[in-house]
Each structure stands twice: as structure tokens, then as C-alpha cells.
Amino acid sequence: YTETKGKTDDVMQSSESSTGVTNSITDRKESIRQGVTVLSENLEEAVHHKVDPWTAVQAYNFGKAYIDYVADNGGVNTVELANAYSKDVVAPSLGNTSGKTYTYYQPVAMYYGGGKLYTNGGNIYYAKEVQFNLFLMRMFSRL
């Protein structure tokens, strides 16, 4: 739900982890299979590195190397740590060496950091968005 709200065939936006190309998966079942595989691998790595499970969720957005980064920097995913990783690792690796930012107008992002994201830096609020969506799903499933 956090990725696409179910509005595309690559519902879990898992193409890049499979083929390296965005939107190359055009089958919903394949997208879910690939996305669950990546998340499962991330969770196993999180256990191995003794970091919190939300690090594995954030690594779904940033890539598995984020798990090592968190392990070396306190062992717990935070927006502040994700921001530093985005600024210092992800954005520069994808061409943003100037620190250019933009505003991401999403409620969770606005609450946790004013919505600032680094261009080409991934989504530092990703794990928080998943937490919020999980809360909403639990709340509405009880109605």
C-alpha cells in the first residue's frame, strides 16, 4: 500500500530490485513475490546485524546497505539517521552532489521533518509511512 496504493501493476515497486529497471515488472503477483522476497531478505539481515526491524523496512526503499549503516550508527532506524544516509550516501550516488532538496507533501513526511527530501535520495520517511499505514489498516479492520 505504501508504494503505489495498488494503482500500478508493479504494486510493490519491486522492479528495480529484480531487473534494475523501474516498472519492468508488469504482473502484480510477480511484483508482490519480488517485494516480499526483498523484504524477507532485509529482515534476515536486520536480525543478523542486530538492528531493529524498521531498519529492514527503510532498507526496502534505500537498499540493503542501509542495514550495515544503521548497525554502525546505533542499531535503530530514525528519521535523522535516514536523512543523513540519504544526504551522504544515496543522493550523491545518484548524482545529487549539491544537496539539492524538494518538498514531499505527504502528511507523515510533513509531521516528521517538514517534508524535505534530497533529490535522488530516496524517501527518508518510508518506514514511518509504513508504520502509519499499518496503524490505519489495523484501525479500519476493527470497524
Domains and CATH numbers, the chain: 15-141 (1.10.530.10)
CA distance 96 to 34: 28
Q: Which three cell numbers stand for residue 109?
A: 513526511
Give the per-residue pLDDT at 7: 78
Confidence check: pLDDT of 20 > 90: no
Alpha helices per DSSP H over 75-125: 79-85, 91-93, 107-113
* % pLDDT > 90, the chain: 72
Separation CA 26–CA 34 (nearest Å): 12
* Residue bearing the bigger pLDDT, 94 or 13: 94
pLDDT tens across 49-99, in order? Answer: 999 999 999 999 999 999 999 999 999 999 999 999 999 999 999 999 999
Spacing of C-alpha 3 from chain mean position: 9
CB within 8 Å of 130: residues ≥ 6 apart: 2, 57
